[in-house]
Amino acid sequence: MPRPRKSTTAAANPQTHAHNGAERLSPVTENYLLSLYKMWEDSEIPTLTRLTEALRQLPPTEGLGTSVPSVAGMLRRMEKLGLVDIGKDKRIRLTDRGQMEGESIARRHRLAEWLVVRLLGMELHEAHIEAHQLEHGMSPALEVRLMERLGHPTHSPFGWPIPGSGAPTAAPGAVTLNNATCDVPYVVDRVPEENAELLKFLGEAQLVPGRNMTLLEAMPYLGVLRVQTEATLVSIGYDVATQIAVRPADTE
């Protein structure tokens, strides 16, 4: 992940709430940091427009204002708090503090996803929405106990690395599905988590992390790839394929 530029800006934090006697960022601020962290993590350069689009993919229950003016106003407040640095190139960079807070909310979010999937038995397409409900109230003590109970996972159920686990952002040899080689066995490494309907489709097809698959045919003239999974033969659009990472089956 690109290193954010440092910021020396410091201010009292109106975007916090009390949590076990300590000040913690508000849920709105945490949602912004999570979105920015994920964009940098996925080597996507955050700008106002791209961040606004990312925030619109969050569950409506998060209650975010996602007009461009409201997002711009929130970014100005976060810049005053020393969480982000908006350069002359209009790119939004996390400061050292923003990076730390972004890692914290990403870790809680991904542990919450495991909580609802592994411990509560919910479906994968439900996990992302439920995790947003749980992440903001997770205390450091609960975070530690949950990590222990889950067996110290290194990745979320969707294949994204859990900050602090030491896991790399991408597995060795991983490529997006649209760049996979035909007739070569792969294992699904990572899938997008924001679209519940897409996740339900991928879950039913068993095109989810840890499952085997083979690309049978790429048809760019139709914008479709034919994929054999452990469960079925399925067609995947190129736009979706660019969001799915796979790794060679002979790698750990």
pLDDT for the residue 251 = 65
What whole-number distance in Å separates Cα of residue 154 and Cα of residue 111?
10
Q: Six-digit token pair at 78? A: 């976060």
* Domain of residue 232, CATH code: 2.30.30.90
- In terms of domains, do 159 and 206 share one? no
- In terms of domains, do 54 and 143 share one? yes
- In terms of domains, do 94 and 182 share one? no
Q: Six-digit token pair at 178? A: 């649209």
Tens-digit pLDDT profile for residues 90-142? 999 999 999 999 999 999 999 999 999 999 999 988 888 889 889 988 999 99
Residue type, 22: A
pLDDT for the residue 252 = 57
* 134, 149, 167 - which closes a domain: 167
Rg (C-alpha) for the chain, rounded Å, is: 19
Closest CA to 108 of 228, 205, 27: 27
- In terms of domains, do 17 and 134 share one? yes
- In terms of domains, do 75 and 185 share one? no
Give the chain's residues under pLDDT 70: 1-23, 251-252
Q: 114: domain range? A: 1-167
* Domain of residue 87, CATH code: 1.10.10.10
Tens-digit pLDDT profile for residues 235-251? 999 999 999 999 999 86
Number of domain units in the chain:
2
pLDDT for the residue 82 = 96
List beta partners, residue 218: 225
| C-alpha 131 chain-centroid distance | 11
* 127, 149, 167 - which closes a domain: 167
* Cβ within 8 Å of residue 41, ≥6 positions away: 1, 106, 160, 161, 169
DSSP state of 237: E
- In terms of domains, do 217 and 119 share one? no
What whole-number distance in Å separates Cα of residue 41 and Cα of residue 28?
20
pLDDT for the residue 86 = 92
- In terms of domains, do 50 and 130 share one? yes
Paired sense of beta strands 185-190 and 22-25, if any: unpaired
- In terms of domains, do 138 and 183 share one? no
pLDDT for the residue 14 = 34
